Structure 1
Amino acid sequence: MRQINKGAEPGVMTAWKAANRALPNYCYASLSAAHRDEIRTALVAEQRGLCAYTGRRIESSTCHIEHLRPQCHCGPGEDVDYRNLVAGVPAPNTPRLPYGAHKKDSWPPIPDEYLFVSPLSGGCGARFTFNLRGQVAPAQAGDAAASETIERLGLNDPSLVQLRKAVIDATLQIRGRGPASIDVGNARRRLRALEQAEEQAGPLEPFSFVLVQALERQIQRIEKIRDGRRRA
């Protein structure tokens, strides 16, 4: 999971709120398709082109607007609170996925919100660790919220794990050579490029936060082997 830094809500949403706040149908369902398109576009840009929960690549045409606090648990006006909105796979009216927003569904109820590691929470990325097989686990043993979030979002669903493994394998392999054949120099350059991209504007690579961890693991593995040979 990558931390999302929320910006100002789109002007079209601010204008809609000003015009509709006093009306009885002041809720998300009353937003027009055009309003939702504008909001979705803003969310995708804010998230640097990555799904809020999975890290998959998204565009405004391939995602939907997701409520961090599910609509069924929202109080008046909460379902149009911009800070409650993120973008996630898949697009509206498409087959359900076994992970992400579809898996999360109406979880968590308000009393269980402490068990949800939100992509808006500070340091959320550091609470998850990815191995080179694409699987995710809590970074710290006993982190009940991270464990519950992984389960409730289906982050270890085999199809999602395979997507992560594919990008990890492609990143760690030098063309024409075996798996995990990238050397320290190239791994460090690749890692630096990902870190620099994070500091700049524009879309990020799909699963970029997973690749950072994979490259760090590869560098540590090679350096450990080198150290062992020096001591031998």
Structure 2
Amino acid sequence: MRQINKGAEPAELTAWKAQNRASPNYCYASLTATHRLAVRNALVREQRGLCAYTGRRIDVGSCHIEHLRPQTHCEIGEDVDYRNLVASVPAPNTPQLPYGAHKKGDWPTRADEHLFVSPLSGGCADRFSFRLNGEVEARSATDNAAVETIVRLGLNDDALVQLRKAAIAATLQIRGRGPASIRIADARKRLRDLEQAEQQAGTLEPYSFVLVQALERQIQRIEKIREARGQS
């Protein structure tokens, strides 16, 4: 999970709120298709083209608007609060996925919100550790919220694990030389490129936060091997 830094809500949503705040229909269901499109555009931009929960590539046509606090548990106005909205796979009216927003459903209840690691929370990325086989676990076994969030979002669903594994393999492998064959100089450059991209504007590489961890592990592994062999 990558931390999302929320920006200003789109002007179309602000204008709609001003016109409808006193209306009994002041709720998400009353937003028009035009308003929802404007919101999706804004969300995809601020999320740098990545699904809020999974890190999959998204664009305006391949995501839906997800409520961090489920609409079922929202008070009046909370379901149109821009800070409660993120973009997530899949697109509306498409088959259910066994992970991400579809898996999350109406969780968390207000009583369970302390068990939800939101992508808006500071340092959320550091609470998850990705293995080279694509699986994810809580970085700390005592981090009950991270453990529960992995389960509730289905982050270890086989299909999603395989997508992450393929991205990791493509990053660490030199064609024709087998898995984890990347040279340390190339690994360091790839890591720098990913870190620099995070500081710049524009779309990020799918699973970029996963690839950063994979490269850091690979660099550490090579350094340990070199140290054991007495190499610099």
| TM-score (ref. length: structure 1) | 0.99
1:58-100 superposed Cα distances (whole Å, 9 cap, x missing partner):
0000000000000000000000000000000000000000000
Q: Which secondary structure state, in structure 1, belongs to the residue aligned with residue 17 of structure 2?
A: helix
Residue 151 of structure 1: aligned partner? 151
1:170-221 superposed Cα distances (whole Å, 9 cap, x missing partner):
0000122111100110000000000000000000000000000000000000
Length, aligned pairs only: 231
Cα displacement (A) at 1:141: 1.8
Between the aligned residues of both structures, percent identity stands at 75
Q: Which secondary structure state, in structure 2, belongs to the residue aligned with residue 230 of structure 1?
A: coil
Residue 17 of structure 2: aligned partner? 17
User: Using the alignment, how far apart are the partners of 2:129 and 2:196 within structure 1?
Assistant: 21
Cα displacement (A) at 1:230: 1.4
Residue 118 of structure 1: aligned partner? 118
User: Using the alignment, how far apart are the partners of 1:42 and 1:69 within structure 2?
Assistant: 19
User: Using the alignment, how far apart are the partners of 1:25 and 1:85 within structure 2?
Assistant: 19
Residue 216 of structure 1: aligned partner? 216
Residue 186 of structure 2: aligned partner? 186
Structure 1: where are the runs of 5+ without partners? none
Q: Which secondary structure state, in structure 1, belongs to the residue aligned with residue 222 of structure 2?
A: helix
Q: Which secondary structure state, in structure 1, belongs to the residue aligned with residue 72 of structure 2?
A: helix
Residue 67 of structure 2: aligned partner? 67
Residue 205 of structure 1: aligned partner? 205
Q: Which secondary structure state, in structure 1, belongs to the residue aligned with residue 62 of structure 2?
A: coil
Residue 47 of structure 1: aligned partner? 47
Regions of 4+ moved over 2 Å: none
Q: Which secondary structure state, in structure 1, belongs to the residue aligned with residue 60 of structure 2?
A: coil
Letter of the structure 2 residue corresponding to residue 117 of structure 1: V
Q: Which secondary structure state, in structure 2, belongs to the residue aligned with residue 61 of structure 1?
A: helix
Q: Which secondary structure state, in structure 2, belongs to the residue aligned with residue 65 of structure 1?
A: strand
Residue 97 of structure 1: aligned partner? 97
Q: Which secondary structure state, in structure 2, belongs to the residue aligned with residue 137 of structure 1?
A: strand
User: Using the alignment, how far apart are the partners of 1:82 and 1:129 within structure 2?
Assistant: 29
User: Using the alignment, how far apart are the partners of 2:135 and 2:179 within structure 1?
Assistant: 17
Structure 2: where are the runs of 5+ without partners? none
User: Using the alignment, how far apart are the partners of 2:229 and 2:194 within structure 1?
Assistant: 30
User: Using the alignment, how far apart are the partners of 2:227 and 2:196 within structure 1?
Assistant: 29
RMSD, aligned α-carbons: 0.7
User: Using the alignment, how far apart are the partners of 1:32 and 1:71 within structure 2?
Assistant: 17
Residue 108 of structure 1: aligned partner? 108
User: Using the alignment, how far apart are the partners of 1:3 and 1:147 within structure 2?
Assistant: 17
User: Using the alignment, how far apart are the partners of 1:64 and 1:45 within structure 2?
Assistant: 14
